[in-house]
Structure 1
Amino acid sequence: MNPNEHFQQLLAAAAAEPEPQRLLFVFAGAELPDRATPEQEARFRSGKGGALGPLMCVDKAPRDLPDFKALVSEAEEAGPPWSVVFAASLSGQAGRPPDKARIDLALETMVQAVRDGRIGGFAAYGPDGDFLEIA
């Protein structure tokens, strides 16, 4: 699968859902974990290791994102450099998209999940659009 193909499938699946969807994104970068050991600090300083920390988040309607490149372009304008973006979908009800309160709560939950390392339920992409399988 070429880069961005998985993301295009995500967009198509969200657009095909019977209820309106919002796509939720949490951008994360590597950071030194709390109470890091000297070995962890050395690995981090050499560009390896570290923990993923959330940097920013956003929600989008599937129709507002033509491709991964558009998401990256917006992220570059909005915030700091990032290493991974986590994606999820939030479904509306009765033909209406989710309201702002539900979206905000879902984004807060995602941000906390990234902080806690509970990322198994999210799609993950690198800055080039590569789908990442994170265990």
Structure 2
Amino acid sequence: MNIESYTDLIHAAKLQSEPQRLLFVFAKAELPNGYTDTQKHNFEQGQGGALAPVLCVAKLPDEVADFSTLVVESSSTGIDWDIAFVSALGGRGGFAPNNDEATQPLKMMTEKIQGGMIADFLTFDKAGELVALSG
């Protein structure tokens, strides 16, 4: 299935043979360490920068069927973010993974994002629109 929207993601997760838990890592755009004047200028114009993970959570698809639910929940933390990276963790035996089982995969996602290895994840902006990032 070609995922072109957040709704497509939820639909695809529900179609899997085993229940899924969605993994979200929220990141904030910032200037990279040792930035140049050009990088600073571009960043101030809304271009470039580095994405630093600031928050993560695992949710069942039904808990976040609408992207606005995710935005409202995240805003209650007081932590600002720009991009949500999303992956899925499949269950087994008809049961979705629990939050404890999602801890290590979330940690690995965070480490990949910090290392710029983002190709395996879907990325959404705060409006719930898919965005293409180069890593």
Matches for 1:39-58 after TM superposition, within 5 Å? 39-58=38-57
- Structure 1 residue 19 corresponds to structure 2 residue 18: yes
What is the RMSD of the two structures over their aligned residues, measured on CA atoms?
1.6
TM-score (norm 2): 0.87
Query: Is the Cα contact below 8 Å between 2:28 and 2:83 reproduced in 1?
Result: yes
Counterpart-to-counterpart distance in 2, 1:99 and 1:70:
20
Counterpart-to-counterpart distance in 2, 1:93 and 1:100:
14
What 5-or-longer segments of structure 2 have no aligned partner? none
Query: Is the Cα contact below 8 Å between 1:56 and 1:79 reproduced in 2?
Result: no
What 5-or-longer segments of structure 1 have no aligned partner? none
1:78 counterpart SS class: coil
Q: Which moved more, 1:81-90 or 1:44-53?
A: 44-53
Identify the residue that residue 114 of structure 2 maps to in structure 1.
115
For these two proteins, the number of residue pairs brought into alignment is: 131
Counterpart-to-counterpart distance in 2, 1:86 and 1:79:
19
Counterpart-to-counterpart distance in 2, 1:46 and 1:124:
21
Identity %, equivalent residues: 37
Identify the residue that residue 8 of structure 2 maps to in structure 1.
9
2:89 counterpart SS class: strand
TM-score (norm 1): 0.87
